[in-house]
Each structure stands twice: as C-alpha cells, then as structure tokens.
Amino acid sequence: DAAHPHDLSTFLDSRGICIRAGRHCAEPLHARLGQEGGSARASFGLYTTMEEVDALAEGLREARRFFG
C-alpha cells in the first residue's frame, strides 16, 4: 500500500527486474477493488529461471524496506 505500482515498477527496473504496472485492460475490476492506481504484475514463463525468481523476491524485499 505504501508504493504506487509505477513507483514499484521503476524501483525494480533500476535493479534489472521487469514487471508490468497499470490497470492491465481491467479498469472496472481495479475500480471495484479500490485500486484506482492499478496494480503491479510479474509474469513467469517456461524459460524463467530460479535465479530470476530469487532476484524478484529480493527486489520486492528491498522495495518493502525502501517504501516502508
């Protein structure tokens, strides 16, 4: 709740981690959930490595400390 999705996306991008931030073509759902600013989404695929998953987890821990 402390960070806007775009701020989180920028924070992770500065660490080489790419996520998507926005309303993801689901504006009515975000409005109903009270998330007018959108959400942040990480996507995993067949070629996603455990190192990339670990980097995302560490990046999210850092973001939590940074944004409080």
Is 25 buried (19+), middle (13-18) or exposed (0-12) by CB count in 10 A? exposed
Q: What are phi and psi of 22, to 5 degrees?
A: 145, -155
Give the residue numbers annotated as catalytic, written as ranges.
Answer: 25
